Each structure stands twice: as structure tokens, then as C-alpha cells.
Amino acid sequence: MTPVQIRKVQAEKASRDLLPDHSTVHSLLLADHAANSRQTPSESKACAPSPTRTDKMWLINTSSLCLEYFAMPEKAPPYAILSHTWGEEELHFTEFQHLHQQGNKAREKRGFAKIERTCVLARGSAIAYAWVDTCCIDKSSSAELSESINSMYSYYRRAKICYVFIDDWWPDLEWDDLFSLEMAVPPPSNSDRSREGEWAPLRWFTRGWTLQELVAPKELQFYDATWSPRGFKYDPEVTHHLARITGIASGILLDGSETSLNSVCVGQRMSWAAHRETTREEDIAYCLMGIFQVNMPLLYGEGSRAFLRFQEEIIKKTTDLSLLAWTAARDQHTFAGVGIFAIHPRQFSGLKECVLVRSQFSQTSEITLTNKGLRFDTAPYLIPDGDPELSDIFLDTSCTSDKELRASYVIRLFRMSRDLFVRVDFEPDEIGPHRRRLIRGGRRVLYVPQHYTHAQFHPENVAVGVIGGCIDLEIKNAAPEFFQVRKPVVWPASHQGHSLSQDNILINVTDLPRFFGYIKVDIFHAQLGELTDEILAVYYGETSGITSVCLLWGNAAQAFIKLATDAEKQDPITAEKMLFDRIAELQALNSCSSHVDIGYTHRNTQIRVSTMIRPALLVKAEMFITLHEVDEGV
């Protein structure tokens, strides 16, 4: 059994020992209802029929345990609300509607005890109604489900009180212990709670839906697995521990109003959900709608697209670009370029202390959602002395984790065309004192796709082989179902032979013009037929053969081709010198080249690599040019 299951079994046993049985509680409820109405218990068994309209809210009558609906939720009577984690044998809407029918076994389900106890607590506080998510939403109606989830934050916000039932909170665990649980810090070995299998985070603090259930309610009381009270959210000690456990400031915990939430930047709010999970992939977006005051239709089955749509809704109503300051682990992207939006809240985990450098209302960037991606009308940052028409650009997010506000996060964008860019870094960079030196460029319009799924060739898988006047370029692990290459282009043009194998993309070019030139290889997307990348192998040789090869990608490759075209107007010696002098400059452009020096043995096999620089499309990834032996007879 898992640690959570072990704790749950022990907690349920303790709960059974302390709680009255279901029949006793229900008798008290019916007796109380009969005393306060002219109906007999038998007459009160029929719950309200299901209305056809969707702008409603179902509430449980805490005396009769019948569902009643209210056409305008904002005018519903005072009600208590339950926050909990779903488990086995929860009661659903239809089952609860027929709770009083003879032969109905709904009361025997585990979930009924939570609903019953919530009603008892509410009646004790003179609250006539209660709301529980398991049985107060008709999930057979997609319209009602969508409305309820879009209204969930307001449901918890308007509640008179929220009861938090944590079914794996042992009676012997204190608030200090909960912090250690969430931080995965085990207790001392001589502690009563150090027994194997007992130390795991409480589920309530790890679920996506319970985040808004913590922040929204004005009054919130905690209960452990035995329904023993563990304090109110507004208790100073409880507030302190909640802030430590969740990373949410005390002021936000005590005031979950829209004004209070908007005082926290988008990136930091996203970080609150970084380590939370949901059963359905789409729910990681839907459960955060209230935290960001956005609404959108529910489309179960869309998968990760839900979180993308969610960010689109956020960007429509704010200029807070901390939404773009996320960080991705390298293995979270199987392609080099990435979209402007994150794929999960976990990518915001580093923004727990993120703040805006200046108010979002003073932002000068204009952002529009278009069919080409996000349209930015802004003044980006540029690399000093870089060509503004070739170089990458940097987008200022105007947010930082620097407490002195001396720096600002920027994200690097790679140029795909004149005005189309993709994000290429795995984490935001910083500008400011003692940080990256960039210069502010002129105002311009640029487009960045929200989510860039176009498969990209990985240049670190290129192997170079040389013998005499021949060059082999082998693209390893190139996934031929995605990538294809066509006849390579050789400059200067001359008679040459080549062979091409698509299985592992092995390109062999023979009879190259001696001394200086390049081989251009275009990489195409197999399904789309579109150009995705190009490799430029710039070589230099002597009478004995080729002595060095410089590999260029992206902007550097395009710049070199333009230079070579211009150099053709010069005499060969002048052209060679002009191009050779620019190689070092192009290597530095966007950190996007790799240079290979070749030494010769008696078998004409290259033996060493002198310099390695990262390619443009893998700015944060190291690149390795591997040299493989070429037999003289091949």
C-alpha cells in the first residue's frame, strides 16, 4: 500500500470510532426538519425535479437532505460549502436526488458520510443549506457542468463558511508536521510518525481544484480525518503555516477578492499550481480559471490544448508578460523551437517571488491574438553590433525575482522569417547591472506562435567525415518519418558527385572544388514538405585535401550565403579572403556555429575538434560535432 493509502485506512478507522453512525445522524436531521416544518419526515422525502434551465445552483437542504435549486446563484440563501479530495464511492447528482427512495443504497457509500457531516456542521451554525461538488452538479448535462466549473470560484467566495475535510490528516499530525510533509522532510527517526510508509504529503495540498477552494472562501475551517477541528484560515498560526506550505502570501489567503488577486503578477499566481495535479489533463487549466478571472468553454478530450487556450484567455485581458517568463526542462520539448506559451503550470515553479518591474498599466507593448500567433507591437532588445535583420531578438517581460528590481527577465526569439519568430530558450535570461548586455531596438511588429509543434531537426546529431576532397555529412537519429533531405548545393559550382541515403540521412559529396567553398543541405519536413532547417558546411583546404570544416545554421548560414553571392563578383583570391575573414564573426552570430579542425594520419582520418559553439535553434543545449573514421578505400 502507498503511504497515502495507509494513512487513509488508519484515519477511517479512527473516524468510525469517533463519529456517530449514519442512521443516528440522519434521524437527528429529519427530527430537526420535522420540528421546523408542517411536513412529516415521510412527506419530505421527494426532492425537487430537475429544471430545464442551466443558470441555476443546486443546494442541499441541511434538514431534509433534499436538493433544491435556485435560478440565480448570486441570490441564493446563505450556505456552507465543502472542500475535500475525491475518493472511492462518491455520491453523484442522480444518486443523491433519489436518496430517500426505498431501496436506495446511496447511504452505504463512503462519500455519504462527508455530505452528512457537512450538513450537521452547517445546521450547528444555523445555516440552512450546503453545497458539495460531488452531488450538487448534474454532470450529465455538459451545459450545467461548464457553468458550474466556470462559476466555481464564486461559489466558494459567496459561501458563508467553507469546511475543509482532509481525509489523510492523522489526529497526531500538527501544523508543523504538515509543512515538513509538503517539503518532503521526514521526522526524526525516534518520532512516533517516522514509521515506514507514513510520510507523504497530504493530498489536499497537492490537488489542482483545492487551490481555489483555499483562496476564495472568506471563512474557512479545517478538519482532520476524524472531523476534529484544526483551526480557521484567519487564525494567525494557521495562516502562517498555510503560507509556508503553499507559497501563497498571507494577505492573499485572507483576502481572495479579485482586487487582491490582481495585485499578484500572473507568473507568481501560476507558480501556486506548479506542484499540483489533476486527474483529467484538461482540469489543470479549468481549475485555475477563478484565480485569473477568466471564463472559457470546457472541451474534455482536448488534452494539453486546454492549458494553451487558458493562456490565450489570460493574454486577452492583461499586459502582464510574466505569463511568458516560464522555464522548461530540456526534456519537456522534443523540438528546438518552442511556442510562446508554457505547456503546464510546473514551468512557472521558479516564479514564486516574481514581481513586475513596473505596473502592467505602464506597459507600452500592444499584444493581439491572431491566426499567425501573438502579435507584439513593441521595441525589443537586440544584441550589440548585431544585424537587426538577421540577429535574434529579446522580448522584455518586465518582471523579475530580484527583490531590488534591478533586473528584468527577457526571452530570446529566433527569426523564422522577416516578422515571424519562435522562442528558443529553455529559461528566461536577465538584463540589468552585471547581466546580459543588450540594446533597445526600434519599435516593430512581430509574431510568435502560441505553441510551436513543428518538428525541428536537431543539429547536434551531425557527424562530419573527410577524406581528400570528399566530405561525408551524417545526420544521426534524424527520424526519417519526419525529415528528408534533397540534392545538396555546392558552392562554388563545379562538377561533383554525391550519394544520399534517406534511412540515416548520409550525404557524401565528392570532387569538391579545392581550397574554399560550402555545401548547403536543406532539411525538409517529410509530411508537410516545408523547409525546416539548413546546414552549411563551409570547408577550407590545401593541395593535400580539406583541412577544416565549419558548420553553420540558421541566421549565420543565411548570412554566409549572402556574402558568398556578393563575393562571386570578386576575383577568387579576394573572395576567399573576404569570406574567410567573416567566419569568426559568423561563429559569434547568435552562438550558432561549430568549427572542426582536421588533422591527418596515414589513413587521412580526422582526429580532433578545436572549437564547439551552440547552434541557433538549441541556444541552451550543448552541441557536439562527432568525427567518425572514413576508410581510405570508401
Assign 429 a pLDDT band (cuts: 50, 70, 90): confident
Using the predicted structure, report yes or no on whether residue 626 has a pLDDT greater than 70: no
Among 192-201, 231-240, 307-316, 375-384, the minimum mean pLDDT is found in: 192-201
Is 582:387 a contact under the CB 8 Å cutoff? no
pLDDT at residue 597 in the model: 38
Using the predicted structure, report yes or no on whether residue 239 has a pLDDT greater than 70: yes
Distance CA 537, CA 543 (A): 19
Q: Which amino acid would we find at residue 607?
A: I
Percent of the chain with pLDDT over 70: 65
Assign 33 a pLDDT band (cuts: 50, 70, 90): very low
Number of separate helices (H) and strands (E) present in the chain: 16, 30
Assign 314 a pLDDT band (cuts: 50, 70, 90): very high
The DSSP line for 453-499 is ------GGGEEEEEETTEEEEEETT--TTTEEE-PPEEES----EEE
Average pLDDT over residues 352-370: 79
Assign 442 a pLDDT band (cuts: 50, 70, 90): confident
Q: How far is CA 200 from CA 173, 183, 185, 244, in A?
A: 12, 10, 9, 17
Nearest CA among 556, 473, 471 for reference residue 513: 471
Q: How far is CA 500 from CA 245, 476, 538, 539, in A?
A: 58, 14, 19, 20
Q: Which residue has the cell 472568506?
A: 218
Is 317:298 a contact under the CB 8 Å cutoff? no
The DSSP secondary-structure symbol of 323 reads G
Nearest CA among 454, 453, 315, 313 for reference residue 375: 315
What are the cell numbers at 605?
582520418
pLDDT at residue 200 in the model: 60
pLDDT at residue 31 in the model: 44
pLDDT at residue 280 in the model: 95
Assign 460 a pLDDT band (cuts: 50, 70, 90): low
Distance CA 509, CA 495 (A): 11
Nearest CA among 374, 388, 421, 329 for reference residue 617: 421
Nearest CA among 581, 585, 482 for reference residue 527: 482
Among 145-149, 408-412, 470-474, the minimum mean pLDDT is found in: 470-474
pLDDT at residue 112 in the model: 94
Residues written for the chain: 634
pLDDT at residue 441 in the model: 85
Distance CA 535, CA 437 (A): 29
What are the cell numbers at 167?
481525509
Using the predicted structure, report yes or no on whether residue 605 has a pLDDT greater than 60: no
Nearest CA among 549, 543, 537 for reference residue 598: 549
What are the cell numbers at 431?
538584463
Residues sharing a CB contact under 8 Å with residue 81, sequence separation 6 or more, in sequence order: 130, 131, 132, 155, 156, 159, 161, 162, 163, 217
Nearest CA among 393, 382, 397 for reference residue 420: 393
**Rounded to the nearest 5°, which phi and psi values hold at 77?**
-65, 165
Using the predicted structure, report yes or no on whether residue 197 has a pLDDT greater than 80: no
Average pLDDT over residues 341-364: 84
Strand order in the sheet with 462-467: 497-501, 506-510, 470-475, 462-467, 626-627
Is 506:500 a contact under the CB 8 Å cutoff? yes
Assign 65 a pLDDT band (cuts: 50, 70, 90): very high
CA dihedral 499, 502, 506, 511 (to 10 degrees): 20
Q: Which residue has the cell 412529516?
A: 40
Using the predicted structure, report yes or no on whether residue 173 has a pLDDT greater than 90: no
Distance CA 609, CA 591 (A): 17
For residues 206 and 616, which has the higher predicted lDDT (pLDDT)?
A: 206
Among 71-85, 245-259, 269-283, 387-401, the minimum mean pLDDT is found in: 387-401
